[in-house]
Amino acid sequence: MMWRVRKKEGDLEKLRKDASSIPAFQKGAAITILCLSQLMTQAGLGQSIAPLHIIGPDIGARSPGQLSWQPAAYSLTVGTFILIAGRFGDVYGHKRMVVIGWFWFSLWSLICGFSAYSGQILYDICRAFQGMGPAILLPNSIAILGNMFPPGPKKNLTFSVFGATAPNGFIIGAVFSSIFAELVWWPWGYWVMAMVCFGLAILAYLIVPLQDSDITKRKEKGQLDPWGSFTGVVGLVLVNFAWNQGPVVGWQTPYTYALLIVGIAFLCLFFVIETRVSHPVVPIRVLKMDTAFVLACISAGWSCFGIWVYYTWQLSEVLRGFQPLSVTAQFVPCGISGLVAAFTSSYLLGAIDAHYIMMIALTAFLVGTILIATAPVGQIYWAQTFVSMIITPWGMDLSYPSGTIILSNATPREHQGIAASLMNTVVNYSISIGLGIAGTVESQINQSGNEVLRGYRSAWYVGIGLSGMGVCIATLFAIVSEARMRRSEEGKADEEDPAASSFHLVFEWMDHNLRAVPSLGFRNNSDLPKIVSKAVLSALAVLFQLDAIHTVILQGSNTIRVQSLPQAPEVWQGLGCFHSSDVWSLGVIRPIFGTRDKIVENLTEAWCIAKFRRLVGPFGPPVNNPDYEDEFGVAEYLESSMFNHPKTALETPFITVGSLRQELERLPGPAVSPELLDFIDYLLVVDYKKRPTALEALQHPYLQS
């Protein structure tokens, strides 16, 4: 038998079979390597903050603004280049990008150590290039983890472990950098990191399983969106640079606010470009309201975290007089609390809605920052400081896994890199931009240099304001989500009536009325079918943005019949109704426009099933439904015994075709255009997870012509 296959589908099937049979030890090792990308990212942040007042004088950086550039330069590139790194992973392969990321991280960690022989500017530049390694690693590691597990407890636990590595990574980086800075020489912290990253690059190449994106050739360079990538990266870099350079040279210096204005202009241009290109870096048109809420909460919380960790460290070192290694010991409770929070989040994600978890996370950021902002300098560590160390990690390790899972579950398999990029861009960019804003406030309050504590407290107040704003956004998010859920429950009765849906009526009109147009020439020579297809897909795209699903397309048949085939396989198999289910319906109904005939006209139910299985690939009957099981049993018999039977009456109309394209070509009426064949072939994918969304279908060349 011939099946409709995609390019290199044989390789992909072998890949998926191999991926599902990976030994438990290899899978565990791969998960460890991927989770270490988050740990090493935060270690890179900790290795500059802990010995800040040892490295600073050694390279000629002494003012607060110059010192803050050491962590800010790193977080700037981590947060900025993640934006495009996930897209590169979708195009060139996630595993390939993970290996490249580890090698890049290793190389620039090595060079960072040697920058000790130069000065502050070269060191900050090297730190920025070092941050590009984690930028490549993080979204592609998350994409692989997202593809390794379906939504469920295992996926929740994996992302919780991934998030738990963040505070512990910071502590590990701070411990080793402090040891080397105090007892040997601070560059050794970077050289050891280079060795570790190089080893992880080799292990990733050997152990991490290949992904679809590492094999398929569906991606072309034209899918990279170069103009969107350029404007987005330039805009983010300029805005961030202006905010972090302002405290150093002062906002009265013309180039600081000039760069801020130019950066904002680039970001505006970026958003315009992303709404018009076919393969955007950030698919703005399909971002749901939930996504916007989550990213806003993450931005507020993690910018607060950057301020909290930086200025808490300064409080302990500068005002309380502790050495870096002693301060690191004070931060150890963060790692322990973070582990508890991470595994608790795994349980909570299965027990309560994500918007409530986000409210708890933002509250933890807020309370932890209030505690440290009001702590007296002479107060013992075990009072407010210790409690702050216990509470704040809950903000990190509740917000990160919940946000990541929301985005991962809401994103198709082939776009996991984009979802991961968005999440990590917001997390790391917020850390850097938060430090810039707090540094600006601190420099204005402590202009004389004698109001150090007052300057630190002003920075913390910025963090309190940001986290407080996050609590408000999370609360609004919860209210909106609950209201939407109530409306959904109230509308279930209406959804059972097909007449209650205007979209159902559109499909019914397409199915029955359009092919009744008297003039066959009018139907084939006009753009009416294409216009209707665009209108339906546009309506479905709006539903997708509203996080709504149309669920009534031709439902209600008890058995498989000709009129039931526009209903997607996953719907009548009982797997659920999804956004892409309506896309399937359009693909089945669309041939009617040019031929007056359906693909399976005049065939009995079993033959309809057998024919569709042959045309689009194998799919099974609904679970525990005897009405379907009988029909599928006959269909399987037909496939195995009757396709080539010399006396079969339906031999000619059935077995002379071997693919959907051939079937469409043999329908009566004028020849169907190759573009239309491509379009229908593009829509009819049995696996709903790989079927295009309405927005993606609108970009198809058939509808663009």
pLDDT tens per residue, range 223-236:
677 888 889 889 98
CA 217/CA 412 separation, integer angstroms: 18
Mean pLDDT calculated for residue range 626-646: 61
**Domain for residue 550, yes or no?**
no
The stretches of 250-323 forming alpha helices (DSSP H) are 254-274, 289-314
- Better-scored residue on pLDDT, 180 or 537: 180
- 370: its two tokens: 């209030």
In a domain, residue 684? The reply is no
151 and 239 in a common domain: no
Specify whether 41 is located in the same domain as 138. yes
Measured distance CA(634)–CA(653) in Å, rounded: 18
| Domain contains 674 | no
Residue 180: pLDDT band (50, 70, 90) is: very high
- Worst-scoring range by mean pLDDT, 204-213, 587-596, 685-694? 587-596
What pLDDT does residue 415 have? Answer: 58
Residue 179 lies in a domain: yes
Are 273 and 289 in a shared domain?
no
Tell me the chain's radius of gyration from C-alpha atoms: 29
* Separation between Cα atoms, residue 486 and residue 129, nearest integer Å: 49
215 and 114: one domain?
A: yes
Q: Exposed (0-12), middle (13-18) or buried (19+): which is 644, by Cβ within 10 Å?
A: exposed
Number of other residues whose CB lies within 10 A of the CB of residue 667: 18
pLDDT per residue as tens digits for the range 343-391:
787 677 667 777 788 889 999 999 999 999 999 999 999 999 999 999 9
Choose from 72-81, 476-485, 615-624 the range with maximum mean pLDDT.
72-81
Predicted pLDDT of residue 432 = 81
Shared-domain flag, residues 471 and 619 = no
| 28: amino acid identity, one letter | G
Please give the average per-residue pLDDT across 408-433, as a whole number: 70
User: Is the same domain home to 245 and 303?
Assistant: no
The answer to whether residues 338 and 216 belong to one domain is no
User: Three-class SS of residue 593?
Assistant: helix
- Give me 618's structure tokens: 């194998």
Closest CA to 700 of 534, 471, 561, 563: 534
Report how many domains make up the chain. Answer: 4
Same domain, residue pair 254 and 291: no
Q: How many Cα atoms sit within 13 Å of 352 on the Cβ side?
A: 11
Q: Are 298 and 430 in contact (CB under 8 A)?
A: yes
Please give the C-alpha separations between residue 243 and each of 254, 281, 682, in angstroms, as whole numbers.
13, 25, 46
- Find the mean pLDDT for residues 295-324: 90
φ/ψ of 280, rounded to 5, equals -70, 155
**Domain final position from 234, 258, 278:** 278
- Strand residues in 70-191 grouped as ranges (E): none
Q: Where in the sequence is the domain holding 237, given as residue range(s)?
A: 225-278
Q: Are 191 and 308 contained in the same domain? A: no
Q: Same domain for 256 and 330?
A: no
With CA atoms as reference, report the closest residue to 163 among 25, 35, 303.
Answer: 35
Give the position of tokens 């011939």: 2
pLDDT, average across residues 403-432: 70
Specify whether 482 is located in the same domain as 383.
Answer: yes
Q: How far apart are CA 430 and CA 252, in angstroms?
A: 24
Q: Which of 607, 563, 555, 553 is nearest to 584 (CA)?
A: 553
How large is the angle between the packed helices 52-59 and 64-92, nearest 10 degrees?
Answer: 100
Residues 6+ away with beta carbon under 8 Å from 549: 543, 577, 578, 579, 581
Task: Supply the pTM of this predicted model.
Answer: 0.64
Q: What is the pLDDT of residue 686?
A: 74
Least confident of 91-95, 548-552, 683-687: 548-552
Classify residue 694: in a domain, yes or no.
no
Whether 647 has a pLDDT exceeding 80, the answer reads no
Q: How far apart are CA 326 and CA 238, in angstroms?
A: 36
Q: Do residue 609 and residue 647 come from a single domain?
A: yes
Treating both helix axes as pointing N-terminal to C-terminal, what angle do 226-249 and 254-274 enclose, rounded to 10 degrees? Answer: 160
